Amino acid sequence: MILLVTCDIFLLGKWESIGSIL
């Protein structure tokens, strides 16, 4: 469960950084 949450947070941050760049 903790790994899933960590992955979700990482993906969200990744998408947010990509969105900010675009």
Rg of the chain's alpha carbons, rounded to an integer? Answer: 10
The SS3 of residue 21 is helix
DSSP state of 1: -
pLDDT digits (tens, 9 = 90+) for 1-22: 678 888 888 999 888 888 887 7
- Rounded CA-CA distance 20/17 in Å is 5
pLDDT for position 1: 66
Please count the helices (runs of H) and the strands (runs of E) in the chain: 1, 0
Q: Please name the helix (run of DSSP H) or strand (run of DSSP E) that holds residue 12, with its range, or none.
A: helix 2-21
